[in-house]
Amino acid sequence: MRAVVQNEFGGPEVLTLIEDAPVPDPIPTEVQVRVSHVGVNPVDGKTRGGASVAKLMGPFPITVGWDIAGEVSALGAGVNRFAVGDRVFGMPRFPYPAKGYAEYVTSPSRHLVRIPDSLDSATAASIPLPATTAYQIVHEAADVRSGQTVLVLGAGGTVGTYVVQMAKKLGATVIGHATGGKLKRLEVLGIDRVIDYASEEFDDPNLGGGPVSDVDVVIDLIGGQFALRAVPLTKWDGIVVGVPSGQQQGLDAAAAQAGVRWTNVIVEPDHVALDYVATLIENGEFHVPAPATAPLEDVVEVHRQMDDGRLPKTVLTLIP
Ligand SMILES: NC(=O)c1ccc[n+]([C@@H]2O[C@H](COP(=O)([O-])OP(=O)(O)OC[C@H]3O[C@@H](n4cnc5c(N)ncnc54)[C@H](OP(=O)(O)O)[C@@H]3O)[C@@H](O)[C@H]2O)c1
């Protein structure tokens, strides 16, 4: 089968498309999926380069990619949740490898969910990892409640737009931090207030429209010093939730002093979370934009653009 492999960590050029990778067979409890589309996420690039979950990828050659959409092509013993031909999506095994940039993958059956009829496979492949992350942040780590104020740093990104929609759905007041065309998009999604980071600092006490203060929940999707800067804006016993990208220098002490809780989320495969999102999409209650698509053959260029920070949400196509 076709698969993208790499024999060392490095830049996009280490990614090589081969035609003769072995097709994996499902063990009991697993299904085999013929992948039509695989979503590209920041973790794919970080792992390719030797960071993030690279340590868990096993010996070379390795294959990155988690967000798969396709059709069940074989069932392992004991699997009853699916039949051959079902359209499914998911993020198998994360943070262990799913080997998603390939024509066939195997997955524990409970790491997959049926794709709603109304959803095309390319869009489906753009959803699992960012939407599951958002669910595990909003519904679990932060446990957002109606009436709370939620500040989302990096609100215009892929995870951010899911976070905003989930928090709004729970009845929270949501303040987002983004720039450019993403500001308008967040408004369309019903955000209560947006701060344009190109012209304003979210923690400026003289912020036009009034300073941000007394926030119940901060969700930091950027990393670095952002979470630390948000602590003084957070209520006593409020919570800061982050994705762990080099943040946390001094966060422990600042949070303890302010009486603020903080935690990190590392996403796990979760068919409950993905089913929740699938149902909202099917009911027209959740908006997911169509991603850009590129053929699997263009994987090196796609990763180049991701490294340069100019890649829109993109899905690699294996079966057009
Ligand atoms: N821990 C986990 O399990 C987990 C799971 C999923 C994602 N993540 C991580 O979460 C992050 C977001 O993922 P994603 O898929 O949403 O990525 P994304 O679509 O690329 O979004 C990132 C967002 O952050 C914004 N941003 C980056 N640097 C910024 C800065 N200095 N100031 C203001 N905004 C900034 C970007 O804004 P612009 O486009 O305007 O630059 C963009 O909207 C990534 O680091 C990813 O690796 C972690």
Q: Which residues line ligand 1 (CB under 6 A)?
A: 41-43, 129-130, 133, 154, 156-160, 178-180, 197, 221-222, 243-245, 265-267
Q: Are strands 173-178 and 149-153 parallel, antiparallel or unpaired?
A: parallel
Structural domain total, the chain? 2
Q: What order do you get walking across the sheet with 193-196 strand by strand?
A: 193-196, 173-178, 149-153, 215-220, 234-242, 261-264
CA of 250 to the centre of ligand 1 (A): 21
- Cα of 221 vs centre of ligand 1, distance in Å, is 5
Q: Give the residue, by CA position, lying nearest to ligand 1 atom 35.
A: 154
- Measured in Å, residue 30 CA sits from the centre of ligand 1 at 32
pLDDT for position 249: 77
Residue 79 included in any domain = yes
Q: For 233-276, write each residue's pLDDT tens digit.
A: 999 999 999 987 665 778 999 999 999 999 999 999 999 999 99
Same domain? 142 vs 260: yes
Percent of the chain with pLDDT over 90: 95
Residues 260 and 295 grouped into a single domain: no
The alpha carbon of 174 and the centre of ligand 1 are apart by a number of angstroms equal to 18
Question: What pLDDT is stored for residue 246 in this prediction?
Answer: 65
Minimum CA distance residue for ligand 1 atom 7:
130
Q: What is the pLDDT of residues 121-164, one digit of tens each?
A: 999 999 999 999 999 999 999 999 999 999 999 999 999 999 99
Q: What range does the domain containing 251 cover?
A: 130-264
Which atom of ligand 1 lies at the shortest distance from residue 223's CA?
Answer: 45
Q: Are residues 145 and 88 in the same domain?
A: no
Give the residue, by CA position, lying nearest to ligand 1 atom 40.
Answer: 179
Q: Are residues 97 and 152 in the same domain?
A: no
Residue appearing with tokens 């990828």: 57
Residue 113 located in a structural domain: yes
Q: Are residues 137 and 260 in the same domain?
A: yes
Which atom number of ligand 1 is nearest to the Cα of residue 244?
Answer: 1
Residues 261-315: tens digit of each pLDDT: 999 999 999 999 999 999 999 999 999 999 999 999 999 999 999 999 999 999 9
135 & 260 share domain: yes
**Choice from 221, 241, 288 to test ligand 1 binding pocket (greatest atom count within 8 A of CB):** 221
From the CA of 194, how far away is ligand 1's center (Å)?
A: 16
Distance 45 CA to ligand 1 centre (A): 13
For ligand 1, atom 12, name the residue with the nearest CA. Answer: 221
Query: Is 280 contained in some domain?
Result: no
